[in-house]
Structure 1
Amino acid sequence: MFRFAMLTLVAAVSAVGAAQAVVALDPVRGATALAAVWREGAPPPQVQDRAAILKSADGHYWAEGEIQGRPVRFLVDTGATTVALTQEDARRLGYDTEALVYGQKVLTAAGEARAAVVKLPAVSIAGASVSDVDAMIVEKGLETSLLGMSYLGRLSGFEATRTSLVLQP
C-alpha cells in the first residue's frame, strides 16, 4: 500500500507543470532530490492518531506546519529527498541567511541555485512531529518551502486518498 501511495503521489507531482521544484545535485552521487509542493488555505484536521492534509482545489497538498514554534507553509513532495526552506521562512525561523554556507548545488523552477544544509530541531504537521529533520535553505529561486522525505520518510506511514494525504506519526 505504501509503494502504491508513493507511486501515485510521484506520478501526480510529475503530471503538474505549475509546481515549484528543487533538485539537489550531489557531486558524489549525482542528482538526488526533486521537490515540489502546493498550497491550500485551512489547517488540516486531526483524525484520531493520524493527521490529514486536505487536497486543495488545484490538486496539490499544501501543509501548514510548525518549526521552532513558528508557522511554515509547505508544498508536499514525496519525490524530494529533504525539506527545502525559502530564505523568508529561514529568516523567520531565526537563521542568519547571510552567514550560511551555500555549498549544495540545487535546481529550482527559476534555474540553478545553491543551498545550505541544516538540521531542524523538529517539524510538526497537523500534530505529526518529527525531530532532527535534515533540510536545505535555498539561497534564491524557491518561492515556497517544500516538505520532502526527510520528514515524510520518518513517519510510521502516509497515504494519499481522493481527498487528503493522511500522515501516521
Structure 2
Amino acid sequence: MSERVSSLVRYALVALVASVSAFGAAGMVVALAPKPPELRAARAEAPIAIAVAPEAAAGERAEVAKAADGHYWAEAEVNGAPVRFLVDTGATAVALTPADAQRLGIRIDQLKYDYTVGTAAGQTRAASVKLASVSVAGARIDNVDALVIEKGLDASLLGMTYLGRLSSFQATRQALFLQP
C-alpha cells in the first residue's frame, strides 16, 4: 500500500509541477509589464470577491461561482478549518502553501520534504501529508492525499486527489459544479 501511495504522490508531483509552472507562467506574463508602485500596492490590497454557494445536502450538487479574475476560487473546510483554494484540474494533487498548512495545525518544520518539484519560482521541496477531510460547499471527501510545497506557491491548489474522488465535476462559464 505504501508503494502505491508513493507512486501516486510521485505522479501527483509531476502533474503539480506542470500545473504550478503554467499558473506561474501566466502570472509572469502579467508581471512583465512594469507598474508604478502605487498601482502595485493598490492591486495587492484589492480583495477578490468570491461567491460562496450554500452548503449542499448529502448527494446534492455543490456550486463554486467563477470569480471576476476568471478562476474558480473555492472556500473549503479542511480538517475543520477554512482554506481558500484555486481550483486546478491540471494539478494531480491538492497542494498547500506553508501558511495554510500551519493554519491547519501541520507542523511544517517536522515534515519530511523528500520530493523536489518545480514551480514558477524555481525548484523547491514538497512533503506528503494526509488531510482528514476536505469539504467544498458541502461536497466532502475524507482522507485526501496532499502536498505541502515549501516555497513558490502563491495559493493552495485544489487538485485531482480531491476532484477525482467526486462522483463528477463540471466547469461552465459561470460556475464549477461538484457532485459528491
TM-score by length of 2: 0.73
Q: Which of residues 21, 42, 48 in structure 1 aligns to 2:51?
A: 42
Q: Hey, what's the Cα distance between the residues in 1 that align with 2:99 and 2:143? A: 21
Deviation at 1:31, TM superposition (A): 2.8
Asked if 1 retains the 8 angstrom alpha-carbon contact of 2:12 and 2:93, the reply is no
Provide the residue aligned with 1:52 in structure 2: 63
Deviating above 4 A after TM superposition, structure 1's stretches of 4 or more consecutive aligned residues are: none
Confirm whether residue 127 of structure 1 aligns to residue 138 of structure 2: yes
Provide the residue aligned with 2:73 in structure 1: 62
Q: Hey, what's the Cα distance between the residues in 2 that align with 1:108 and 1:70? A: 26
Asked if 1 retains the 8 angstrom alpha-carbon contact of 2:85 and 2:158, the reply is yes
Deviation at 1:85, TM superposition (A): 0.2
Q: Which of residues 24, 27, 32 in structure 1 aligns to 2:15?
A: 32
Partner secondary structure for residue 32 of structure 1: helix
Q: Which runs of 5 or more structure 1 residues have no equivalent in the other structure?
A: 1-24
Asked if 2 retains the 8 angstrom alpha-carbon contact of 1:75 and 1:144, the reply is yes
Q: Hey, what's the Cα distance between the residues in 2 that align with 1:30 and 1:68? A: 22
Q: Which of residues 156, 166, 169 in structure 2 aligns to 1:145?
A: 156
Q: Hey, what's the Cα distance between the residues in 2 that align with 1:113 and 1:156? A: 33
Query: Relative to structure 1, is the Cα distance of residues 51 and 30 closer, same or farther in structure 2, using a 3 angstrom cutoff?
Result: closer
Q: Which has the higher helix share?
A: 2
Asked if 2 retains the 8 angstrom alpha-carbon contact of 1:113 and 1:138, the reply is yes
RMSD of aligned alpha carbons: 2.3
Deviations 1:123-153, CA, capped at 9 Å, x for gaps = 0011000011010001111121000000000
Asked if 2 retains the 8 angstrom alpha-carbon contact of 1:68 and 1:122, the reply is yes
Asked if 2 retains the 8 angstrom alpha-carbon contact of 1:40 and 1:63, the reply is no
Confirm whether residue 108 of structure 1 aligns to residue 109 of structure 2: no
Q: Which structure has the greater CA radius of gyration?
A: 2
Confirm whether residue 166 of structure 1 aligns to residue 177 of structure 2: yes
Aligned residues: 143
Q: Which amino acid aligns with 2:147?
A: M
Q: Which of residues 79, 97, 108 in structure 2 aligns to 1:86?
A: 97
Identity across matched positions, percent: 55
Give 1:2-41 correspondences, 5 Å limit: 26=10, 31-33=14-16, 34-35=18-19, 40-41=49-50
Asked if 1 retains the 8 angstrom alpha-carbon contact of 2:134 and 2:144, the reply is yes
Deviation at 1:40, TM superposition (A): 4.7
Q: Which runs of 5 or more structure 2 residues have no equivalent in the other structure?
A: 1-8, 24-47
